[in-house]
Amino acid sequence: MSKTTNSLKTCILALMAAWPALSFGQVPSPAPAQSKPLLLVGATIHTATGRVVENGLMGFENGRLTVIADAIQTSEKAKYEIVDVTGKHIYPGLIVPNTTLGLSEIEAVRATLDFREVGAVNPHVRALIAYNTDSDITPTVRSNGVLMAQVTPRGGLVSGQSSIVQLDAWNWEDATYKADDGIHINWPASFRRTGWWAEPGGVEQNKVHDKNVAELSQLFDDAISYKNQKEVVKNLKLAAMQGLFDGSKTLFVHTDAAKDIMEAVRFAKGKQVKKIVLVGGSQSYQITDFLKDNKVAVVINRMHRLPESDDEDVYLPYKLPSLLQKAGVLYCIDMEGNQEASEARNLPFQAGTATAFGLEKEEALAAISLNTAKVLGIDARVGSLEAGKDATFLVCDGDLLDVRTNNVVQAYIQGRQIDLSNKQKALFKKFSDKYAK
């Protein structure tokens, strides 16, 4: 027998031996399309519109919701297969905006991070084509009820284009829910902090603020000129920005200080941008009338953090949703920050914290579902439990927003019941079984 044959046999045997370990770490396969109409009966249904149906039923067929009603008063059950969910709670699938989920895996390993392009001005860069459906993080996020995400690039002056995906797909094409929904810019701050997190310094004026604003101004002026020309040489950067002027794309402005927010919004309005969304906005509560007058929604950064300024109320991040709610400003909640991809699973608990600081339970639910869908422009299809919308929802043993009772037992994306297993659950079972003996 030749050495080549022996080597080949050795390789095959090694692969066979490793197969159980390899399969152990696999991401669950995407679910097949819904094959029959289903009717979930007996649960408390939280629609995210403010309506709560006790002892309700919810039917869906071909991936769309068909009925949400009281289980006792409704006789429309004949064509459905009944699923008993008595005592449980049904919620719309949660949506995490402004996230690097699927674009980053291990923060300490640069090769697994694919959310930042070289250069400072990249309006043409698409996060969507970098989205990794085989991420081990995604199944852990789905286990807590987050079923959709706005995958977003980071860095630079103009980061690039985000896209909205559903979290059960074979590849980025299958995952796409709304491609290239917006362009993200990091507005130059008027002031910046010095030092770093372990040794924070003082605050000083940003010396390159005017230079960066001028660079943005030139970019938008070029894009407007490009729009008005009948015959032009293709320019990928300027072509990518055209949706900002006809309303097909949203301009997401990342900034926090009230002064910078107002400057950025006035800038965008002056450059013919149709839709503007503020991301961050830690001082947005100071200028709510301005935001309403200009129809600017706010994506609040994660609330489990310290205030931005030393003289602010220590509980201000927790109170911000309530302050915007009372002022009538449209807002939602994201998880941007350290380890944001894996931390996306904690989105429901951010909303839960807000309920202890002035927000009603159903308002908090809307802040991570229906409000998010409105901000992202997909509320006609998803975000709440209403007849005609996608059957994207979850079934939970208890209160979804409470870490003590959040136990998602079923989840559906467009009518497909997805597999809620993940690597962490498998490891938990593995070692629980070991030490139970």
Element (H, E) at 178: strand 176-186
- The 10s digit of each residue's pLDDT in 272-319 is 999 999 999 999 999 999 999 999 999 999 999 988 888 889 999 999
Pairing type for strands 176-186 and 158-166 reads antiparallel
Lowest mean pLDDT among 14-28, 88-102, 350-364, 365-379: 14-28
Helices 258-270 and 209-228, axial angle in degrees (round to 10): 20
Element (H, E) at 161: strand 158-166
**DSSP per residue over 253-290, as a string?**
EEE-SHHHHHHHHHHHHHTT---EEEEE-TTGGGGHHH
Average pLDDT, the chain: 92
- Per-residue confidence (pLDDT) for residue 10, from 0 to 100: 58
The mean per-residue pLDDT over the stretch 346-359 comes to 97
**DSSP per residue over 313-369, as a string?**
-TTHHHHHHHHHHHHT--EEE---STTHHHHGGGHHHHHHHHHTTT--HHHHHHTTT
**From CA 302, how far away is CA 210, in angstroms rounded?**
29
Percent of the chain topping pLDDT 90: 81
Q: In Å, how far are 208, 211, 236, 267 from 214, measured between CA atoms?
A: 10, 5, 21, 11
Residue 322's φ and ψ, nearest 5 degrees, are: -65, -40
Residue 206's φ and ψ, nearest 5 degrees, are: -75, 110
Residue 102 pLDDT level (bands cut at 50, 70, 90): very high
Whether residue 5 has pLDDT greater than 90? no
Q: Are 246 and 265 in contact (CB under 8 A)?
A: no
Q: Are 300 and 321 in contact (CB under 8 A)?
A: yes
Lowest mean pLDDT among 44-53, 82-91, 189-198: 189-198
CB atoms within 10 A of CB 423: 16
Whether residue 13 has pLDDT greater than 90? no
* Domain map (residue ranges) of the chain: 3-28+424-436, 96-382
- Per-residue confidence (pLDDT) for residue 25, from 0 to 100: 56
CA distance from start to end of the chain: 46
- Per-residue confidence (pLDDT) for residue 153, from 0 to 100: 97
**From CA 383, how far away is CA 98, in angstroms rounded?**
16
Pairing type for strands 191-195 and 89-92 reads unpaired
Q: Quote the tokens at residue 228.
A: 């008005």
Lowest mean pLDDT among 120-124, 199-203, 400-404: 199-203
Instruction: Tell me which residue has tokens 């309403």.
Output: 292
**DSSP per residue over 32-101, as a string?**
PPP-S-EEEEEEEEE-SSS-EEEEEEEEEETTEEEEEEETTT----TTSEEEE-TT-EEEEPEEEEEE-B
Residue 260 pLDDT level (bands cut at 50, 70, 90): very high
- Per-residue confidence (pLDDT) for residue 17, from 0 to 100: 46
Question: One-letter amino acid identity for 287?
Answer: I
Instruction: Tell me which residue has tokens 């370990």.
Output: 21
Whether residue 12 has pLDDT greater than 80? no
- Per-residue confidence (pLDDT) for residue 22, from 0 to 100: 42
Q: Quote the tokens at residue 191.
A: 């002031």
The mean per-residue pLDDT over the stretch 234-238 comes to 95
Whether residue 230 has pLDDT greater than 90? no
Residue 12's φ and ψ, nearest 5 degrees, are: -65, -45
Contacts for 319 with CB less than 8 Å, ≥ 6 apart: 313, 357, 358
- The 10s digit of each residue's pLDDT in 114-138 is 999 999 999 999 999 999 999 999 9
The mean per-residue pLDDT over the stretch 84-100 comes to 97
- The 10s digit of each residue's pLDDT in 15-42 is 454 444 444 457 889 999 999 999 999 9
Q: Can you tell me whether residue 181 is helix, strand or coil?
A: strand
Whether residue 87 has pLDDT greater than 90? yes
- Per-residue confidence (pLDDT) for residue 233, from 0 to 100: 86
CB atoms within 10 A of CB 201: 10
Q: Are 244 and 183 in contact (CB under 8 A)?
A: yes
**From CA 118, how far away is CA 175, in angstroms rounded?**
25
Residue 43 CA from chain centroid, whole number: 26
- Per-residue confidence (pLDDT) for residue 184, from 0 to 100: 98
The mean per-residue pLDDT over the stretch 43-57 comes to 96
What is the architecture of the domain spanning 96-382?
Answer: Alpha-Beta Barrel (3.20)
Contacts for 201 with CB less than 8 Å, ≥ 6 apart: 193, 194, 195
Q: Are 46 and 362 in contact (CB under 8 A)?
A: yes
The mean per-residue pLDDT over the stretch 401-409 comes to 96
**From CA 212, how far away is CA 233, in angstroms rounded?**
26
Compute the Cα dihedral for 113, 117, 123, 128 and give only its sign: negative
Lowest mean pLDDT among 75-79, 166-170, 387-391, 403-407: 75-79
